[in-house]
């Protein structure tokens, strides 16, 4: 009865937060850890690469214009080379 064994197995869902294939948005360290597994977890925000400890940090990041950040300036200068 292989069919009955499959129904009893727990379902596992895994996500890759270190890739940007779709919009995930800014995430706090706790949100990233909830969605990740394993010991070596990259807690940098998948959206901007910074570490957000609180929801307020996320709100501040969302309020900033990307063109006014140092990261944008570096990416732009690298692209112009």
DSSP 1-68: -HHHHHHHSPP------S--SS-----BHHHHHHH--SS----S-TTTSS-B-SHHHHHHHHHS-GGG
Taking the complete model, does pTM exceed 0.75, yes or no?
no
The pLDDT value recorded for residue 39 is 82
Q: What is the pLDDT of residue 12?
A: 63
Q: How high is the pLDDT of residue 55?
A: 92
pLDDT digits (tens, 9 = 90+) for 13-72: 656 555 555 567 888 999 888 888 778 888 888 888 889 999 999 888 888 776 777 878
Map out the domains of the chain as residue ranges.
16-80
Distance CA 13, CA 2 (A): 22
């Amino acid at each position: 009865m292989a069919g009955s064994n499959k129904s009893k197995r727990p379902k596992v869902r895994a996500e890759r937060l270190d890739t940007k294939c779709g919009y995930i948005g800014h995430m706090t360290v706790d949100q990233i850890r909830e969605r990740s597994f394993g010991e070596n977890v990259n807690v940098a925000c998948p959206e901007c690469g910074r570490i957000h400890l609180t929801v307020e940090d996320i709100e501040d990041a969302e309020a900033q214009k990307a063109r006014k950040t140092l990261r944008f300036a570096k990416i732009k200068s690298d692209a112009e080379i």
